[in-house]
Amino acid sequence: MKEIPSVDLNDFISGSPEIKQKFVKELGEAYEEIGFVALKGHFLDDELTENIYKEVESFFSLSDEVKDKYCIEGIGGQRGFTSFGKESAKGRSEGDLKEFWHFGQEVDNDDKLKAEYPENVIVSELPDFNKIGMSAYKNLEKTAIYVLRALSLYIGKDEFYFDKYVKNGNSILRPIYYPPIQGEPKGAVRAAEHGDINLITLLMGASASGLEVKNKQGEWIGVTSLPEQLVVNVGDMLERHTNNKLRSTIHRVVNPPKEEWGSPRFSIPFFTHPIGDMPLDCMDECIEKDGVKHHEDITAGDFLHERLIELGLVKE
């Protein structure tokens, strides 16, 4: 496979059982083969996409002194600002050449979860930053729910199996800024090869190229989403929960050619996380094929904590 497949969410919500089932099959097979798709027909319109990129560029243009005000200690970078080079990929000591912001869940009608999650951080210098950021968050969350409904049918579960776990889930919207490269990176890249932690990731079209995914043959494939598409990939939680049926594909963001080092890159992924109590036990439907259970039982919350330690964002 030399490119990622393209699917249209409008097929899933078309009202036609045949067209809906075709989408389910195409999506599921793509996630078994390469773990990535380009998704059309999502709920994030062009105007909102343009507006959030304007706000994100404005935020990262603020001085380091101002941005550092929004770095909140003791929460593993789960809200607010994380400064340049602080996060590294699993198994790597070099920090990635990026800084980022986190918007998190605004819990509806669940006091227990509301107490568990950190509050979102308000940027006083940019009055529209949080409002536009959370509007994008909600539209991407809605899209993620529909994608997971299709995958639930593909696996053989009830269509709405994931809904109760994703509603009020610990999802994150992460605007990322990759600054211009000032000198020889010495082994560091914009984002070293990794798999995502979560159930699925929805990625808005980045401002520059660089994203690559590794196919089953070990080849790196460049991924560029069109303006009307989201790139949607499987994360480690979903791979684990489906007993490796659906693939969490390794991907990276490579440094540009030297002549383009002076150009920054912006990217805005939405990491779909469930509530922490969700069991990630291998589904029976995904064990039946070969009778082998490939992962031990664990909750989503415990798995996330383990991975944040590995990323260097939380201390043991």
What is the tens place of the pLDDT at every residue in 108-127? Answer: 889 999 999 999 999 999 99
Q: Under CATH, to which class is 6-310 assigned?
A: mainly beta
The pairing of strands 36-40 and 6-8 is parallel
So what's the pLDDT on residue 261?
67
Q: pLDDT digit string (tens) for 125-157?
A: 999 999 999 999 999 999 999 999 999 999 999
So what's the pLDDT on residue 165?
97
Q: pLDDT digit string (tens) for 19-53?
A: 999 999 999 999 998 888 999 999 999 899 999 99
Q: Which alpha helices (H) appear in the chain, and where do they start and end?
A: 9-12, 17-33, 46-60, 64-68, 111-116, 129-155, 163-166, 236-241, 284-287, 300-310
CA angle 52, 196, 298 (to 5 degrees): 125
**Confidence band of 302 (pLDDT split at 50, 70, 90):** very high
For the cut 60, the answer to whether the pLDDT of residue 298 exceeds it is yes
**Confidence band of 207 (pLDDT split at 50, 70, 90):** very low
Q: Cα separation of 6 and 19, whole Å?
A: 15
Pair of tokens at residue 80: 């607010």
151 Cβ contact partners less than 8 Å away, ≥ 6 residues apart: 24, 27, 28, 31, 162, 200, 238, 246
Average pLDDT over residues 54-83: 92
Q: Are 272 and 168 in contact (CB under 8 A)?
A: no
CA distances to 68, 250, 312 from 71, rounded to whole Å, are: 5, 29, 15
229 Cβ contact partners less than 8 Å away, ≥ 6 residues apart: 6, 38, 39, 40, 205
For the cut 90, the answer to whether the pLDDT of residue 264 exceeds it is no
Determine if the pTM surpasses 0.75.
yes
Every domain of the chain and the residues it spans: 6-310
End-to-end CA distance of the chain: 40
